[in-house]
């Protein structure tokens, strides 16, 4: 059951990143500022 929870969390995170990329790469811009 613990592995299932990790897979669920990973899937949710992946979907969130994909949605942000579609909106215009919000996460990538934040990473560039930090770097």
What are the extents of the domains in the chain? 2-34
Residues 26 and 28: their CA atoms lie apart, in Å, by: 6
> Please, what is the Cα angle at 18 between 30 and 25, to 5 degrees?
30
The residue with tokens 């969130």 is 16
Q: pLDDT by residue for the chain (35 residues), tens digit each?
A: 677 888 898 999 999 888 888 887 665 666 666 65
User: b/e string for 1-11 if b means 16 or more Cβ within 10 A?
Assistant: eeeeeeeeeee
Note the pTM of the prediction, 2 decimals. 0.44
Q: What is the pLDDT of residue 15?
A: 92
């Amino acid at each position: 059951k613990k592995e299932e929870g990790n897979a669920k969390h990973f899937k949710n995170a992946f979907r969130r990143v994909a949605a942000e990329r579609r909106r215009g790469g919000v996460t990538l811009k934040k990473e560039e500022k930090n770097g």
